[in-house]
Structure 1
Amino acid sequence: MASWNSVEMEIAYQVIGWLAFLSWSVSFYPQVILNFRRKSVVGLNFDFLVLNLTKHSSYLIYNAALFFSKDVQTQYYEEYGYQIIPVAANDVAFSIHAVVLTAFTFFQVLIYDRGNQKVSKTCISISSIVWFSALVCLIVAWPKHSWLWLVSVFNNIQVLMTAIKYTPQAFMNFKRKSTVGWSIGNILLDLTGGFLNFAQMAVQSIDQGSWVNIYGNIGKTLLSLESISFDLLFIIQHYVLYPAEKEDQKKDHLNDIAPLLKSVDKSHDSNVVNV
């Protein structure tokens, strides 16, 4: 592996990377805790979960292959030159953690109240097509040992899934005119992780005097861009378009008029009896 030109830059790279890992990893817990406290997953879009699992599984395959496989690394050097591999230990650790936590959230879906929510046929179709396509790519890559191309396919899959996975939740919030059941803590931490991810790539680029790690790992770059964009959308939905205060005001209004409605019902019932 290529070496760092500056010890300070290498330290900064590692520190920022693990801060990104911490932020992105912790971002899963607000939703898990919210589900546990409510004993309900109503408001959490199941299509988001399925697409998210597909995304993180693909990203894990890419990160683990490029970080551990000497064959994949050799092909990377042949393609992009003798550069530092753009996947760090924190990337692999995050991917493993993300798959485990997403699977655990699925478990919560099975044991908690989920109302009438279910995974859509569209989501099932998309996931099936993606994994079938990945299998075809594996069959194509195997004879020529095109491992870098194959893991790049999985990287592209995670980029595609990142773009798609947020859409059902964003539309669900819009349709319900509410973000209740969807943890904003998850979004704030995810946004922080996205910015830190960019910072880590920038540190490596400055040290190496090259932007190869930006386009040589375009999946990681697009992942950050997509995450930040959708996170900002969710923040606008939560704090501007559908703030929790409005939900509380609706509940307070209903509580205020509830006694009046009961008295009207009783009056109506007595009139019926008198007649």
Structure 2
Amino acid sequence: MASWNSVPLEITYETFGWIAFFSWSISFYPQVILNFRRKSVVGLNFDFMVLNLTKHSSYLIYNASLFFSSAIQKQYFEKYGHEQMIPVAANDVAFSIHAVLLTAIMLFQIAIYDRGNQKVSKIAIAIVCAVWLVAAVCFFIALPSHSWLWLISIFNSIQVFMTVIKYIPQAVMNFIRKSTDGFSIGSILLDFIGGVTNYAQMAVQSIDQNSWVNFYGNIGKTLISLVSIFFDLLFMCQHYILYPAKKAHIPPKPNKEGAEPLIKSSDDPLSENV
């Protein structure tokens, strides 16, 4: 496997990688804490969470397989060249494990907290079942020829597909409700930072190796960053611009004698005489 040509770029790569890991990992907690404090999951789209679990599970299978399996790494080098570097870092594997666990915790919160009239749609259930059925069929196709790199590329494609569609139910729900109440914007801000630094990490590796193979050699990682950034910007637009939280009306304070303020509002008929 190729080695780093520049120590500063290697350090930068690791720095970006772990910033992405901590940002993405911490991004789960604002929603978990919000659910716990409210004892309610109203406003959090259940389809989003169910699709998210399949997405992160697929991503974990891809990352762990390519990072730990020497057989799959050998197939990767045979396809892309032995001078290339494995496009999966330790922080990718760590994030995937953490993401699956935290998503499972939020699904547990959905099961025990107030849900209002929300429920998982039949469409989301059908998509998840279809995805895992396809994965099972691909496994048995790859088994005779040991085409493991092709198989994990299927899981990589699955996680990209799930990333593309998983945000849609939440975005639509916010649009219908004209509100982001119950959906943590803190999670979105951290997810945005993770997406940007993850993309920067890949760019640093490409600059050092003078090759852009790691972008299309791990097209899933490339697309997931771009898609996540797009939807994070959409959610930020919904939260801060389209559906900002209404500020509570604060009545004017009376003077010391308890009388009304001397200056009347412009819609008061007596204000013209003041």
TM-score by length of 1: 0.89
Distance 1:84 1:49, change over 3 A: same
Instruction: Give the Cα separation in 2 of the matches to 1:152 and 1:218.
Output: 9
State the shift of 1:163 in Å.
Answer: 0.5
What runs of 5+ residues in structure 2 fail to find an aligned partner?
Answer: 252-274
CA distance in 1, matches of 2:198, 2:8: 18
Q: Distance in 2 between matches of 1:244 and 1:136?
A: 47
Provide the alpha-carbon RMSD of the alignment. Answer: 1.3
Q: Secondary structure, in 3 states, of the residue corresponding to 2:56?
A: helix
Deviations 1:14-43 (A, max 9, x none): 111001000000000000000011010000
Which residue does the alignment assign to 1:17? Answer: 17
User: What are the superposed Cα offsets for residues 174-222 of structure 1, whole Å, 9 maximum, x if unpaired?
Assistant: 0000000000000000000000001100110011010000110000000
Tell me the alpha carbon deviations over residues 48-92 of structure 1, each in whole angstroms, 9 at most, x when there is no partner: 000000000000000000000001100100111121100000000
Q: Structure 1 residues 105, 15: closer, same or farther in 2, change over 3 A?
A: same
Q: Residue type matched to 2:40 in 1?
A: S
SS state at 2:119 partner: coil
**Greater helix share, structure number:** 1
Q: Which residue of 2 aligns with 1:30?
A: 30
Superposed displacement of residue 251, structure 1: 11
Aligned equivalent of 1:100: 101
Find the aligned partners of 2:156 and 2:222 in 1 and give their Cα distance: 11
Which residue pairs with 2:8 in the alignment? 8
Q: Measure the CA separation in 2 of the matches of 1:220 and 1:176.
A: 32
Trace 1:53-64 onto structure 2 (pairs within 5 A). 53-64=53-64
Equivalent position of 2:224 in the other structure? 223
Task: Output aligned runs, 1:15-164, within 5 Å.
Answer: 15-82=15-82, 83-164=84-165
For residues 35 and 21 of structure 1, what CA distance do their matches in structure 2 show? Answer: 23
CA shift digits 1:102-142 (9 cap, x unpaired)? 00001111111111111000000000000000000000000
Task: Give the C-alpha shift of residue 250 in structure 1.
Answer: 8.8
Deviation at 1:236, TM superposition (A): 0.5
Letter paired with 2:81: G
By how many angstroms is 1:7 displaced? 1.6
* Cα distance between partner residues in 1 of 2:245 and 2:143: 52
Letter in 1 for 2:36: F
Question: Matched residue of 2:144: which SS?
Answer: helix
Aligned equivalents of 1:35, 1:67: Cα separation in 2: 34
SS class of match (1:143): coil
**Higher mean Cα deviation, 104-113 or 165-174?**
104-113
Unaligned runs of 5+ in 1: 253-275
